[in-house]
């Protein structure tokens, strides 16, 4: 199955929005996309992102 590019936007405690590119199949579940981006953010030096699924914005690119 071919991977697609998704943009997942996570709000953080510093008031900024952090956008992550996630590659996943077209039929990927939104929750899986969210957790992939959140775990990537969690390992970064940036301020803590919200772990609330409803706060994330997910868009398919291309």
* 1-40 pLDDT per residue, tens: 678 999 999 998 889 999 999 999 999 999 999 999 988 7
pLDDT at 44 over 80: no
Torsion angles phi and psi, residue 47, rounded to 5: -60, 155
Instruction: Give the per-residue pLDDT at 3.
Output: 85
Model pLDDT, residue 42: 66
Q: What pTM value is reported for the model?
A: 0.82
For residue 23, what pLDDT is reported?
95
CB atoms within 10 A of CB 21: 11
3 state SS of 40: helix
Other Cβ atoms less than 10 A from the Cβ of 45: the count is 4
């Amino acid at each position: 199955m071919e991977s697609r590019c998704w943009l997942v936007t996570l709000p953080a405690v510093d008031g900024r929005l952090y956008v992550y590119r996630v590659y996943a199949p077209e039929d990927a579940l939104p929750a899986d996309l969210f957790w992939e981006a959140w775990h990537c953010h969690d390992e970064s030096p940036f301020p803590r992102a919200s772990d609330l699924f409803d706060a994330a914005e997910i868009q398919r690119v291309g």
